[in-house]
Amino acid sequence: MTRVYVGFDDTDTLDCGRGTGKLARWFVEVLPEGCTARGTIRQQLLVHPDVPYTSHNSAACVVIDVEDEAIVPLLVDRAAEHVTKHMIEGSDPGVCVAVADGTASSALIAFGRRAAVEVVSQDDARAAAYGAHLSGHGGTNDGIIGAAAGVGLTMAGWSGRFIDYPLDLRSFPTLTPVSELEAAGMLVVPVDRNVVSPKPTDLVDTQDWLRPRLWGGMPCVPVTYAGGDRWTSIARRAIDPREHDLP
């Protein structure tokens, strides 16, 4: 089994009603046979006056396990077709496809970390993605920057939040037992000072917005202690009418 990362960025416009996150989630529905999606992760990049972006400067990366690495070229073609089909006119889309532990892995990770804190260029992205696939699909092609950075940050495994998961995140009840979250592959992580780990029978208040973080390469649900057998997820969504792509 080989792990592959497919990054998308800048496929939308401010008033189109949907964004790159949704396009990335749709990609899971058109994966070739022999591919299994492990999650779609939103990565936040630098917000700066010198960086053009639609609303929040975020990229999305789909994590996929493939049975045979020979399928990767087909996955590249499918990603390019998907962006071409769903991109919004006026956007500047980019696609990056990279294999875990491949030639470009360390360079992409370093590039992703840079893109989160400093202004980077298309040339920087191309240099980092040498040995992986990186392509622009319209406009200025600036989306290749975020696509490469999103892949790098996801490979690093210590940032981002899941906006899609093998089990429907929207199907978990407001109060979910710790055991149910962990059975679904999510680690419940207390972030209070001097608090013991929750028991399997304890309940997590998801605040109706369960979005695990990518920590240590794992989906983690950060929680604070609420007393008794209750814990509260800290990942509550802020109400912002512009967040059409931040599910």
Question: Residue ranges of the domains in the chain?
Answer: 2-162, 169-233
Q: Which of 58, 50, 55, 52 is nearest to 7 (CA)?
A: 58
State the average pLDDT for the chain.
Answer: 88
86: how many CB neighbours lie within 10 A of its CB?
A: 18
Of the candidates 148, 112, 126, the residue with the CA atom closest to the CA atom of residue 5 = 148
Cβ-contact 54, 14 below 8 angstroms: yes
In this model, does residue 1 exceed pLDDT 80?
yes
Residue 238, token pair as written in the block: 């802020």
CA separation, residue 62 to residues 121, 122, 132, 202, 244 (Å): 23, 21, 15, 31, 19
pLDDT in tens, 109-161: 999 999 999 999 999 999 999 999 999 998 888 999 999 999 999 999 999 99
Per-residue burial over 191-227, b = 16 or more CB atoms within 10 Å of its CB, e = otherwise = eeeeeeebeeebbbbbeeebbbbbbeeebbbbbebee
Radius of gyration of the chain (CA): 18
Least confident of 67-71, 162-166, 235-239: 235-239
Cα 14 to Cα 240: distance, rounded to the nearest angstrom: 13
For residues 1 and 12, give the distance between their C-alpha atoms in angstroms, rounded to a whole number.
Answer: 33
CATH code matching the domain that covers 2-162, chosen among 3.30.590.20, 3.30.70.20, 3.30.70.2200, 3.40.50.2000 = 3.30.70.2200
Q: Which of 29-43, 76-90, 197-211, 221-235 has the lowest mean pLDDT?
A: 76-90
Tell me: the pLDDT tens digits for 183-239?
999 999 999 888 788 999 999 999 999 999 999 999 999 999 999 999 999 976 554
